[in-house]
């Protein structure tokens, strides 16, 4: 077996120790006589797994008691619609800050369900910056303010939580959740697709302040209602039991690593290693404004696009996987989520140096 250094943007690398544990438990979970995917979600075995996962996530993120944690399906994309459906009225304004392709998609989906207003956008910089907070056009009566703390495609990240007064702040944390400690109390709602820092795809975690549940309309299908999911402990229907189980293993792994404070140190160092090399190389280039560069997703270009094919071919041969940039931006992208360790980043930099020497 030969596992490469995996820089995939998502579904992304998972900790090897977790995969090994899942492998060891694959045929029979904890003396139960069956795999965890083969038992009822309403039985005591799975309920135990589900409750432990929630408790560990609450501990990792220090989630206050007045927030519900939901383990849902439909991905972050479904949340683009489910959020306005639940916490905005159709004629009510909801403010969106657009800093990349995922926030654009959130606007497009949300516009079918509420009066979406783009309060600020960094499109004119090709999404390489974040608009200064004092220029945001916010309505104190808006249903909520939505933003994307980390834009996975162009690698732009907020390193502070914006102050939006009393309006609930809603964050798509798909590609940054669990990368560092977070003050959850600053948010009305946080959501994250699992397939980067949480676990396998097919699961989305929603952390919602309880008072917002009162906004969920009674006349929407129950399956879309946060209030119904909360009242039924995310088991309104059959949940993604395997995803939930694996997420639980990841949360335990994170705790054993020293929690999010330890991840913050590791993630900052990993990103700094790569940015320092790129900036000093005179060969590779990252276009993002330095203060808002992502720790999780690092796009970079080579001096000419003709070099992309040999770079991808040779990096793949060297065991460095999934470095191709998103089709919207081209070039390369290295995603450095929690399960990507410093050794992988060092191996990447070593390859990049050698490639630059040979082709420069
Ligand atoms: N938001 C962000 C920031 C993402 O990175 C992604 C997926 N890469 C999505 C939303 C969409 O997630 P999903 O495919 O789970 O719907």
Q: Which of 256, 280, 312 is the last residue of a domain?
A: 256
* pLDDT score of 334 more than 80: yes
Give catalytic status of residue 102 as yes or no.
yes
Same domain, 211 and 344: no
Ligand 1 near 335 CB (within 6 A): no
- pLDDT for residue 246: 98
- pLDDT for residue 1: 74
* pLDDT score of 342 more than 90: yes
- pLDDT for residue 266: 98
Whether 4 maps to a domain, the answer reads: no
Atom of ligand 1 nearest to the CA of 9: 8
Same domain, 236 and 92: yes
Same domain, 180 and 318: no
| Domain of residue 169, CATH code | 3.40.640.10
Mean pLDDT over residues 28-38, rounded? 95
Mean pLDDT over residues 289-313, rounded? 98
Report the complex ipTM: 0.99
CA distance 312 to 331: 10
| Domain of residue 324, CATH code | 3.90.1150.10
| Residue among 73, 76, 105, 199 to mutate when testing ligand 1 (max atoms within 8 A of CB) | 76
CA distance 40 to 241: 9
- pLDDT for residue 170: 99
Give nearest CA residue, ligand 1 atom 10. Answer: 76
* pLDDT score of 328 more than 80: yes
- pLDDT for residue 2: 86
Same domain, 267 and 252: no
Mean pLDDT over residues 234-245, rounded? 98
Q: How far is the CA of 326 from the centre of ligand 1 (A)?
A: 13
- pLDDT for residue 35: 96
Q: Which of 236, 256, 276 is the last residue of a domain?
A: 256
Kindly report, residue by residue over 191-215, the tens digit of the pLDDT.
Answer: 999 999 999 999 999 999 999 999 9
Whether 181 maps to a domain, the answer reads: yes
Same domain, 291 and 312: yes
CA distance 63 to 143: 22
Whether 333 maps to a domain, the answer reads: yes
* pLDDT score of 26 more than 80: yes
Kindly report, residue by residue over 103-143, the tens digit of the pLDDT.
Answer: 999 999 999 999 999 999 999 999 999 999 999 999 999 99
Q: Which of 256, 290, 313 is the last residue of a domain?
A: 256
Give catalytic status of residue 172 as yes or no.
yes
Sign of CA dihedral 335, 336, 338, 340: positive
Same domain, 338 and 247: no
- Could you list the residue range(s) of the whole structural domain that residue 288 is in? 259-359
Same domain, 165 and 283: no
Same domain, 109 and 92: yes
Whether 339 maps to a domain, the answer reads: yes
- Residue 325, judged by CB atoms within 10 A of its CB (0-12, 13-18, 19+), counts as buried
Percent of the chain residues past pLDDT 70, beyond the cut: 100
Number of domains present in the structure of the chain: 2
Same domain, 236 and 277: no
* pLDDT score of 247 more than 80: yes
Ligand 1 near 193 CB (within 6 A): yes
Whether 8 maps to a domain, the answer reads: no
Same domain, 63 and 194: yes
- pLDDT for residue 220: 97
Which is nearest to 332 in space by CA: 125, 66, 153, 146?
153
Give nearest CA residue, ligand 1 atom 3. Answer: 174
Q: At what angle do helices 16-24 and 241-256 cross, to 10 degrees?
A: 130
Give the pTM: 0.98
Mean pLDDT over residues 267-276, rounded? 98
Kindly report, residue by residue over 153-166, the tens digit of the pLDDT.
Answer: 999 999 999 999 99
CA distance 281 to 289: 17
Element containing residue 121 per DSSP (H, E): strand 115-121
**Is residue 237 part of an annotated ligand binding site?**
yes
Whether 214 maps to a domain, the answer reads: yes
Ligand 1 near 32 CB (within 6 A): no
Whether 289 maps to a domain, the answer reads: yes
| Residue among 102, 158, 206, 322 to mutate when testing ligand 1 (max atoms within 8 A of CB) | 102
Kindly report, residue by residue over 38-65, the tens digit of the pLDDT.
Answer: 999 999 999 999 999 999 999 999 999 9
Same domain, 231 and 325: no
Whether 76 maps to a domain, the answer reads: yes
């Amino acid at each position: 077996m030969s596992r490469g250094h995996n820089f995939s943007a998502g579904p992304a690398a998972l900790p090897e120790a977790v995969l090994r544990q899942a492998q060891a438990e694959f045929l029979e979970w904890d003396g139960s006589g069956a795999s965890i995917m083969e038992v009822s979600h309403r039985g005591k075995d799975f309920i135990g797994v589900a409750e432990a996962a929630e408790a560990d996530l609450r501990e990792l993120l220090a989630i206050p008691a007045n927030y519900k944690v939901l383990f849902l399906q439909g991905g972050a994309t479904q949340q683009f619609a489910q959020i306005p459906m639940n916490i905005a009225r159709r004629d009510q304004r909801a403010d969106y800050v657009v800093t990349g392709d995922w926030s654009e998609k959130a606007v497009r989906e949300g516009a079918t369900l509420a009066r979406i207003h783009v309060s600020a956008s960094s499109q004119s910089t090709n999404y390489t910056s974040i608009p200064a907070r004092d220029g945001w056009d916010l309505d104190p009566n808006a249903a909520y303010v939505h933003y994307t703390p980390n834009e996975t495609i162009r690698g732009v990240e907020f390193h502070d939580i914006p102050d939006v007064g009393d309006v609930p702040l809603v964050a798509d944390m798909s590609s940054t959740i669990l990368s560092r400690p977070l003050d959850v109390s600053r948010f009305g709602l946080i959501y994250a697709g699992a397939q980067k820092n949480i676990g396998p795809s097919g699961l989305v975690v929603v952390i919602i302040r309880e008072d917002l549940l009162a906004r969920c309309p009674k006349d929407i299908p129950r399956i879309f209602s946060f209030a119904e999911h909360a009242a039924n402990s995310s088991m309104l229907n059959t949940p993604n039991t395997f995803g939930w189980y694996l997420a639980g293993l990841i949360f335990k792994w994170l705790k054993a690593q020293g929690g999010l404070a330890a991840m913050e140190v590791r993630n900052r160092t990993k990103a700094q290693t790569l940015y320092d090399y790129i900036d000093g190389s005179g060969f590779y280039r990252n276009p993002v404004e330095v203060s808002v560069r992502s720790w999780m997703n690092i796009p970079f270009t080579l001096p000419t696009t003709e070099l992309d094919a040999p770079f991808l071919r040779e990096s793949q041969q060297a065991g460095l996987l999934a470095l191709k940039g998103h089709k919207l931006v081209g070039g390369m992208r290295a995603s450095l989520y929690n399960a990507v360790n410093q050794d992988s980043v060092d191996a990447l930099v070593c390859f990049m140096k050698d490639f630059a020497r040979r082709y420069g």
